[in-house]
Amino acid sequence: MITVSDDGAIKTIIVKPNHSATWKTNLWVVLAISVPSLGAAIAFALLGAWPILPFAGAELLGLSAALYYVNWKLQYRHVVTLDGSTVKLDKGYYAPKKTWRFARAEVGLSVTPESHPWEGPKLGLHDKGEYVSVGEFLNREEALQCLKALREEFPIRTHSREQQRQL
């Protein structure tokens, strides 16, 4: 998902993965699965098969943990902030974990075309000394949308095919 905001002096491009369900929706899914699962477990426990209760609890705990992990991974984002003289790229989950700063005049866009028709191009920002990939988690349509947003701001200075390496 690509979001572009421009307030005149500062332009921000936010790149984040698709989010099919929010954490609240995931909690409703866990609740919908918990009711029949725990209902059956309690019924069997009342009939004397009490060892089923820990297994039902472990099943729900595992599902909740998996949904939480996936939701956390989908909070990852790249934020490109442009002002008059600098470009700042932040990567992180809820707060920037890593930040790069470039002089705006020296930044170029690197585009590596897709190797398969279903993939999107690989994008990156670079200056003379450093290269940082942008949006490696995007699907084809979103990668092309990100390319369009970045092309409006940066010149393409590297456009190359990925080389196949044989060992």
6-28 pLDDT per residue, tens: 888 888 999 998 888 888 999 99
The amino acid that residue 163 corresponds to is: Q
User: Measuring CA to CA, which residue among 13, 167, 32, 128 is closest to residue 77?
Assistant: 13
Are 122 and 56 within one domain? Answer: no
What local confidence, expressed as pLDDT, does residue 30 receive? 94
What's the pTM?
0.74
What local confidence, expressed as pLDDT, does residue 79 receive? 93
Are 36 and 102 within one domain? Answer: no
Are 8 and 30 within one domain? Answer: no
Rounded Cα–Cα distance for residues 141 and 29 (Å): 29
Task: Report pLDDT digits (tens) over 28-72.
Answer: 999 999 999 999 999 999 999 989 999 999 999 999 999 999 998
Rounded Cα–Cα distance for residues 85 and 83 (Å): 6
Q: Is residue 165 part of a domain?
A: no
Would the pLDDT of 160 be above 70? no
What local confidence, expressed as pLDDT, does residue 98 receive? 93
Q: Is residue 114 part of a domain?
A: yes
Integer-rounded Cα radius of gyration of the chain: 23
Give me the domain span that covers residue 132: 2-19+76-159
Are 14 and 33 within one domain? Answer: no
Are 50 and 92 within one domain? Answer: no
